[in-house]
Chains A and B, each alone.
Chain A
Amino acid sequence: MTKDTLAPPLKTAPPPPSVPLPPAAGLVTFDVSQLNIWFGVNQVLKNVSLKIPSKAVSAIIGPSGCGKSTFLRSLNRMHDLVPAARVEGRITLFGQNLYDDDVDATVVRRRVGMVFQKPNPFPTMTIAENVTVGLRLNGVRKRNLIQERMERSLRMAALWDEVKDRLNANALSLSGGQQQRLCIARALAIEPEVLLMDEPASALDPIATAKIEELILGLKKSYTIVIVTHNMQQAARISDLTAFFYLGELVEFDKTNRIFTNPAKKQTEDYVTGRFG
C-alpha cells in the first residue's frame, strides 16, 4: 500500500463552543478555517469556517452557484484535479491538516469517500467488480477479505437482497436508484470514515430517493456524512446540522431543526421559505 501519512484519528477532542453539536457526538471530523477557493480569477468561496461533527449528517443547502459543491469537494481534495483551482485556508481531518505538503491526496480520498449526483458505476465491470474495484486497485489481494467486504458493503447500501443472485451481471443492467446504491456500496467498501454526497438523490425518482434517505439515516451511526442538497425537505428529514451558503459565504450553520423552524439570519429564512430572488 502507498504511504499513509495520516495518523489514526484522535480519540478525543474538545467540542468547540461556537457550533452546536448533536447530543451523542463530541468529536469533530472536519475543522474548516478561513477557507478561500478561486477558479482562475473567480473567488468561489470566501472565508468559510465551520466545524463538522462526527457520526452525524451535515447538510449543505443554498441556491445554485453558492459554492456548496466546491466546498464539498475541498473536503477530499478533489480540486487537486482542476488546474485552475486555488485553495487557501485550513481544513483538518481529525486534527490533521489535509492540505499539508506531505499529505498524499489519494490516501485522503480513501478515508473520505464520495458519491456523485449522477450514478456512475464503471460500465465495463460487473456489479461485484464495481463494488470491489476500490479494494482491488488499491492492492488488496485476499479473496476472502474482498468477498466479505463486498457483501457487507452491499448490505449496508440496502442492495444485497436485490442483487445477490446476479453479482456477475453488468452494472448498467440496474435501475438508476440501484446504480446509485451500488455507487454508495462501492464507496463504503474501502471503509472510509467520512462519506461526502453531492446531491445523491437528485437524479432519482421519489421511491429511490426515499430508499437513499433511509440508507443515509442508517449509515450515520457509523459514518460522518456531509451531503449537498437542493431539496430542503430532504435536508430537514435526514440531517442533524445544516449549513446555508450564499454567494460563496457561509451564512448560517446550526442544528437542522433550528434552521428550518427559526433561523437566526433573515437571509436563511428567506431562502428556506422560498422567498428568494
Chain B
Amino acid sequence: MLRHFDDDLNQFKETLLIMGSHAESALAQAVQAVTERNDQIAEQVQQNDDIMDQYEIDIDDMAINLLAKAPLANDLRLITVAMKISQNLERIGDEATTIARRAVELNTEPQLKTYIDIPRMAAITLGMLRESLDAFVNKDTEKARAIIPRDKEVDAINRQLYRELAGFMAENPATIPRCLSLITISKSLERVADHATNIAQEVVYLCEARDIRHEAHKQ
C-alpha cells in the first residue's frame, strides 16, 4: 500500500543524498585547489561549508519529526542511519574546508614536489565516498562491505607520505611549512576515508540490521 509517509521518507532520503553530493564536490574541489594551486576554488570550498552545516541541522530536524510518528523496522533503521550518515558527511565537509585552507597556504610558496600520493589518496577516498552513497541508495550491502578494506590502503599511503615528508623536513628545514601543510592534507584525506568507511558500515546496518562497527578490534 502506498503511504503518505513514504513520500516523507523519500523526501528525507533525497535531502541526505543532496548533502552527499555536496560533500563529494567539496572534497573534489578541495583536492583540485591543491593539485592545480587554485586559490579561487579554495575560497569557494571554504564558503560552502555553511551549506553542509545547515543540511546536518535540517536532516536531524526532519528525522526527529519522522521518528515522532513511531516508524518501525526498516523505516526506523533508515532514519537513524541517515542521521549518522549526515554527521559523517558534515565532518567530511569540514575536512574539505581544512584541505582548502592548507591549499591557500601552499600557494604562497612554490610547489615542493610533484604530487603523486595525494592525488592517489584523493582518488581512492572519493571513490569510497561515492560508492558508500551509491550503496545507500541501492541498499547494496555487498558494495558497502567492499568499501571497508580500502580504508587500509589509504592509511598505508598516509603513513608512507608522512615518512617521506618527515625525511624532507629533516634534510631541509626551509621546507617545513609546506611539508606540514601537506601532512595536514594527507591526514584530512585519511579521516575522510574513515568517515566513508563509517558510512559504509551504517549502510550494512540498514540492509542487514547487523552492527559491524568496531569488529576490526575483535579480530
Contacts and interface: CB of A to CB of B under 8 A. Distances in A.
A256 B66 CA distance: 12
Interface string A66-100: 00000000000000000000000000000000000
A233 interface: yes
A233 B1 contact: no
Contacts of A257: 64-65, 68
Contacts of B64: 257, 261
Interface in A167-221: 210-211, 214, 217-218
Interface string B13-34: 0000000000000000000000
A214 B4 contact: yes
- Of the four ranges (under 10, 10 to 19, 20 to 34, 35 or more), the interface on chain A belongs to 10 to 19
Contact of B65 (A214, A217, A233, A261): A261
A210 B68 contact: no
Contacts of B69: 233, 236-237
Interface string A240-268: 00000000000000001100110000000
A261 B61 CA distance: 10
A260 B1 CA distance: 26
A236 B68 contact: yes
B68 A261 contact: yes
B3 interface: yes
A237 B5 contact: yes
B70 interface: yes
B68 A260 contact: yes
A210 B3 CA distance: 9
Contacts of B68: 236, 256-257, 260-261
Interface in B18-77: 64-65, 68-70
A66 to B, nearest CB: 21
Contacts of B65: 257, 261
A237 B4 CA distance: 10
A40 B34 CA distance: 82
B1 A236 contact: no
B1 A211 contact: yes
Contact of B70 (A210, A214, A217, A236): A236
A217 B69 CA distance: 14
A233 B70 contact: yes
A223 to B, nearest CB: 15
Contacts of A217: 4
B1 A210 contact: yes
A77 B206 CA distance: 51
A99 B146 CA distance: 70
Contacts of B2: 214
In the complex, which of the residues A211, A214, A237 has the most CB atoms of chain B within 10 Å of its own CB atom? Answer: A237
A233 B1 CA distance: 19
Contacts of A261: 64-65, 68
A223 B96 CA distance: 49
A237 B8 CA distance: 11
Interface string A218-235: 100000000000000100
A256 B70 CA distance: 13
Contacts of A233: 69-70
A210 B209 CA distance: 25
Nearest to B70: A233
A257 B69 CA distance: 9
Nearest to A220: B4
A127 B33 CA distance: 71
A261 B69 CA distance: 10
A218 B5 CA distance: 12
A218 B69 CA distance: 17
Nearest to A257: B65
A260 B68 CA distance: 6
A260 B3 CA distance: 21
A207 to B, nearest CB: 8
CB-CB nearest 7 A-B residue pairs: A233-B70, A260-B68, A217-B4, A237-B69, A257-B65, A236-B68, A236-B69
17 contacts: A210-B3, A214-B1, A214-B3, A214-B4, A217-B4, A233-B69, A233-B70, A236-B68, A236-B69, A237-B5, A237-B69, A237-B70, A256-B68, A257-B64, A257-B68, A261-B64, A261-B68
Interface of A: 210-211, 214, 217-218, 233, 236-237, 256-257, 260-261
